[in-house]
Chain A
Amino acid sequence: MSSTEEHNLLEIDNLSVSLRGNRILEDINLRVKKGHIHALTGPNGAGKTTLMRSVMGGMPHKGTIRFLFRESTRIGYVPQFLEFDHSVPITVFDFLFLMLKKMPVFLARRRTVRAEVEELLTATDCAHLIDRSVGQLSGGEFRRVLLAQALSPKPELLLLDEPASNIDEVGIRHFEEMLINLRDEHGITILMVCHSMNMISRVCDAVTAVNRTIFYDGPAKGLNHADLLQQYTFL
């Protein structure tokens, strides 16, 4: 293994995905370095979410996807949008409990688990939401709760699907601070689908632009937005 490979956490080689005869992704070669926040960008329908799903193992594909960490380590995932019935009486505590514990939520002694859930919510700065109904949360608040669930058990790699969508500017800045904290303080590598060039330039270390195939792959700093947008148009 070369010194460059040692620093990679995720390696994708010659990946292609077809759905019902349509080629969605073709010849994708991607390296995500450990400790980086790596953005996947590109126009709508470019195959970004498909690439993310392939990494999660939920998409039949050709080519290889290698994780350079222990197989038992979890990959955390924060979905773009969570469609659910807002009338279900489920609190933030319940929501996290369902994912953390096997004991049925209606039989469990809540006090013993509460501290664990609070600690998790504190990591994403939303411990005060623990007793709020999930259906009453704002987009930004819910995104932070979703991020909290992805942190248990602690992941080596965190996948985020458009974390900036449906959040106001203040919420986005808050979210960005959390991502930087997760990278710097907890050593978590983040791969995220992102359309916001501002967010990419503020928090990301590397960026890969996809439109069926890769048309840019390099550092986020110094990325020329105008060039990238022009390629969006011509591809």
Chain B
Amino acid sequence: MDFIYDIFKNWATRGYLPSIFEHTFMIRGLLAALIIGPLLGAIGTVVVTKKLSFFTQTIGNAAMSGVAIGLLLGEPVDGTYAGLYGFCLIVALLMTFVKNRTRLANDTIIGVVLAQVLGLGIILMIVVTSQFNIHQVEGILFGSLITLNDQDLIALTIASVVVGVLFAFNFNQFMLASFNRTLAKARGLSPVFLEYLFVTLMTIVVVSSLKLIGALLVLVLIVVPAAGAQLVAPNLRWFVWLSVIFSTISTASGLLLSGLLPVPSGAVIALVSSALFYGALVFRPLLSRSGPNQGEI
């Protein structure tokens, strides 16, 4: 990893990059942003189509409990991976299971589970803050480049490659099952299996991005770029690529600004992402002539 950091530091010294990239944590943050940003943008298109936006928020909130469970299970303070990924996956799969076994509406199930994970999270936080450094938990909640370490970057890279390949390979099926389950079934697909698979992939990406963006704001980066792209895209191809572009710009420029200003990276990424959304809203008559979202403002 030091070899890569040295290249960036060299560029920063020569003036090719802003001087803040002389700091290792900023280089690490930029690499994480460039890896996870495009993937969040692409996955966001299916999240928006499946109306799973607040499902993502619930997973983010479950992360608070996940970190606490990891600490209580004896994981190192800067690497609570089993607690974090394990608990968030259990919550995500539980919500999908309840959804497929009942006729409850999506938002009702999310409301029920959100209340549970928040309640559990608060109790566990009180237990662990008396024993551990609270800084790691803050990093998960709001996003913190300082707590992002080499291990996190490696985990994020591996997760992104695996999820990216599986997501791309199954994209058409995910989209068809999201568009209409009956038709997907008639075409020989299993919408239930596809839903479990997508939710698993989405949870891995969301959890991997928590230290960069924060549990409270991860919803923004998975939903807002896709929503902006939805406004102006004339077809599915542009929907995905615009969402990827918006998400990458948001993560990279948000990270850069957070290095210049004394604010958490997640907050700036959220604001840049929102600015792009409103930009798309204002310029959509110029950008799209035949898209489906041409209502009057």
Contact = CB atoms under 8 A, between A and B. Distances in A.
Contacts of A102: 169, 172
Contacts of B169: 102, 104
Contacts of A93: 235
Contact of A88 (B168, B172, B230, B241): B230
A89 B238 contact: yes
A82 B235 contact: no
Given A89-B230, A90-B235, A106 B292 contact: no
A60 interface: no
Contacts of A95: 179
A104 B239 contact: no
A87 B176 contact: no
Interface string B227-241: 000100111111111
Given A56-B186, A82-B183, A106-B237, A98 B293 contact: no
A171 interface: no
A99 interface: yes
Contacts of A103: 172
B291 to A, nearest CB: 5
Contact of B171 (A86, A91, A106, A149): A106
Contact of A98 (B176, B186, B290): B176
A97 B238 CA distance: 15
Chain B interface secondary structure, helix, strand, loop or mixed?
helix
A156 interface: no
Contacts of B235: 89-91, 93-94, 131
A110 B230 CA distance: 20
Contacts of B23: none
B293 A87 contact: yes
B236 A105 contact: yes
Contacts of B171: 104-106
Contacts of A149: 183, 187
Contacts of A227: none
Interface string A61-94: 0000000000000000101001111111111011
B168 A87 contact: no
B176 A99 contact: yes
Contact of B180 (A56, A84, A131): A84
Interface of A: 56, 58, 77, 79, 82-91, 93-95, 97-99, 101-107, 110, 131-136, 146, 149
9 contacts: A79-B186, A87-B230, A89-B291, A90-B179, A98-B173, A106-B236, A106-B239, A106-B240, A133-B290
Given A58-B185, A86-B292, A105-B172, 11 more contacts: A79-B182, A82-B180, A88-B179, A91-B236, A101-B172, A103-B172, A104-B171, A106-B239, A106-B241, A131-B235, A135-B292
Interface of B: 42, 49, 51, 168-169, 171-173, 175-176, 179-180, 182-183, 185-187, 230, 233-241, 290-293
Listed from nearest, the 8 A-B pairs whose CB atoms lie closest are A106-B240, A77-B186, A104-B171, A94-B236, A89-B233, A133-B292, A135-B292, A98-B176
